[in-house]
Amino acid sequence: MRDKPNEVILITRMRTFNKGNQALSVAWLELLQQAFPTASIRAIERRPPHLLQYTLAQIARSRDPFRAFDGLTTKLARLAPGRDFVGDPDPDPRIVLDEAIPTPARFVALRQRLNVRGWGARAGYYRHAYLGRLAACQRARFVVVNPAGEFFPRSPEPAFYHLLDAHVAHKLGRPTAIVNHTMDIDDATLRLLIPRIYRDLALVGFRDGKSVEAFRAMGGDLANVVVSPDLALASQVGAAGARRPGSVAVAINVPEAAARGYAPQWIDVIRGLQGKRFEVVLVSNELPSDQAFYEQLRRQLGVAIEGQSLDFDRYAALLGTFDFVVTSRMHTGVLAMLGGAPVVPVEGASFKITGLFQELGFSMPVIRPSSPGWVEAVIEQAAALQGRRDAVAGEIAAKLAGIRGRIADLLVPRLRAAEAAAVV
């Protein structure tokens, strides 16, 4: 009989233009090393290109979507070449922030319609790397999939690929966990698939109670579910620099605002803050997605853009220098609070910011752009914070004190118990 494998696989975002994803990946590597101190923790990039030849639409067209999905994952698992296969899908273990990732707006829609990488996958271009990935899973004692929250209404396709990854690892006989995500799914096919897929996993981790309610509503079984706040809250960040009195950072989730038609109202928010004599600075934990609109705001309103190319820990330190941070990006809110700045939270298309603040027990209201008068609500909440900045920052610090330990105390035993289900 072979020796028990001593490697834990973390499927996560390794090269990213999102500082929040960078913080999450680093935090999960650290937590898994704490949970399994004698194991080798190996990170593998999520959403492998080999899978892009398959689409959620293909599964949805089937008479029995779960049978089609299950058949696809069985087919993928049968490709596994054995644990002795020589192949390294991700030879560089670093978690890298790369905001220079090209995003040529003129060709994005065309490339998506043509599904260029999908055609490459069909041609076998990514097959060898995928075989290495399967072999790594075969050798692993535990596989942990970190979708970083990519289960939301606006784009269901990312969730589909995370489900493929998790179910294939399960088909390979590995205890598998899917962790740290918000369950806000409208897609009918995913709502059918998820309860049946999750039932077979060793552990399912949601980051708020609202996700548990949503999962239960779609027929999910809670027996293997654990709820813990977003692990980015456990990030180690740098000390904030000197305060900049009268300054406010604004982070806008531009793709969500554009998709829902309220991007122009953010101009009113910024003008309103400027009218209160705040110096407004634009920031983002996903700058490439927000850059074009930010440049428009810079030219139109004279606001600066800061935080480019800063890793998540230095970004948090920058955020801590502002009087407060107005954000519709959850991880900018998390990193701002870790950096010591109060937050005016504005919800996006999902309920993830609301869920986070409820999970942490924060009293400040989360403002929804769909609600009447939301622009005025942001400005009023900002003005109310101005005279209470230090007191509110102290309240947040008290809430966050020890959060890293509390998250670890909850997750480490559950991860160990899930891994103990291994059959080698």
C-beta contacts of 272-279 below 8 A and 24+ residues apart: 272/375, 272/376, 272/378, 272/379, 273/248, 273/326, 273/379, 273/382, 274/301, 275/379, 276/379, 276/382, 276/383, 276/386, 277/246, 278/246, 278/247, 278/248, 278/323, 278/382, 279/244, 279/246, 279/247, 279/248
| Token code pair at residue 219 | 């027929």
What residues contact residue 191 under an 8 Å CB cut-off, 6+ apart? 185, 218
User: End of a domain among 196, 227, 258?
Assistant: 227
The answer to whether residues 63 and 144 belong to one domain is yes
The answer to whether residues 82 and 197 belong to one domain is yes
Gap between the Cα atoms of 132 and 126, Å rounded? 10
The answer to whether residues 149 and 254 belong to one domain is no
The strand pairing partners of 40, in sequence order, are 7
Does residue 289 belong to any structural domain of this protein?
Answer: yes
| Token code pair at residue 248 | 């406010």
| Token code pair at residue 177 | 């966990």
Does residue 415 belong to any structural domain of this protein?
Answer: no
Does residue 408 belong to any structural domain of this protein?
Answer: no
pTM for this prediction: 0.91
| Token code pair at residue 325 | 């941070």
Q: Give residue for tokens 């990488």.
A: 117
Q: What is the CATH number of the domain that holds 395?
A: 3.40.50.2000
Q: Are 326 and 265 in contact (CB under 8 A)?
A: no
Does residue 105 belong to any structural domain of this protein?
Answer: yes
140 or 109, higher pLDDT: 140
Other beta carbons within 10 Å of 298: 13
The answer to whether residues 69 and 109 belong to one domain is yes
The answer to whether residues 260 and 369 belong to one domain is yes
Q: What is the CATH number of the domain that holds 124?
A: 3.40.50
Gap between the Cα atoms of 42 and 140, Å rounded? 9
Gap between the Cα atoms of 291 and 289, Å rounded? 6
Say if residue 163's pLDDT is above 80: yes
**Phi, psi torsion values for 181, nearest 5 degrees:** -135, 160
Mean pLDDT of 234-256: 93
Gap between the Cα atoms of 96 and 3, Å rounded? 33
Q: pLDDT tens digits for 167-184?
A: 999 999 999 999 999 898
Does residue 183 belong to any structural domain of this protein?
Answer: yes
The answer to whether residues 64 and 150 belong to one domain is yes
The answer to whether residues 256 and 223 belong to one domain is no
Gap between the Cα atoms of 53 and 143, Å rounded? 23
Does residue 294 belong to any structural domain of this protein?
Answer: yes
The answer to whether residues 251 and 223 belong to one domain is no
State the average pLDDT for the chain: 90
The answer to whether residues 178 and 319 belong to one domain is no
Q: What percent of the chain has pLDDT over 90?
A: 71
The answer to whether residues 252 and 223 belong to one domain is no
Does residue 412 belong to any structural domain of this protein?
Answer: no
The answer to whether residues 159 and 303 belong to one domain is no
Q: Are 313 and 324 in contact (CB under 8 A)?
A: no
The answer to whether residues 60 and 122 belong to one domain is yes
Does residue 2 belong to any structural domain of this protein?
Answer: no
Radius of gyration of the CA atoms of the chain, in A: 22
Q: Are 188 and 219 in contact (CB under 8 A)?
A: no
| pLDDT for 424 | 46
User: End of a domain among 227, 256, 282?
Assistant: 227
* Listed residue (397, 423, 235, 203) closest to 316, CA to CA: 235
Domain that holds residue 361: 247-400
Q: Are 159 and 190 in contact (CB under 8 A)?
A: yes
Say if residue 113's pLDDT is above 70: no
| pLDDT for 90 | 62
Q: pLDDT tens digits for 14-56?
A: 989 999 999 999 999 999 999 999 999 999 999 999 999 999 9
| Token code pair at residue 149 | 């929250």
SS (H, E, C) 107-121: HHHHHHHHCHHHHHH
Q: pLDDT tens digits for 315-356?
A: 999 999 999 999 999 999 999 999 999 999 999 767 888 888
| Token code pair at residue 33 | 């090393």
Mean pLDDT of 235-241: 89
- The total of structural domains in the chain comes to 2
| pLDDT for 105 | 47
DSSP 51: G
Mean pLDDT of 299-315: 96
Gap between the Cα atoms of 69 and 164, Å rounded? 8
**Phi, psi torsion values for 43, nearest 5 degrees:** -95, 140
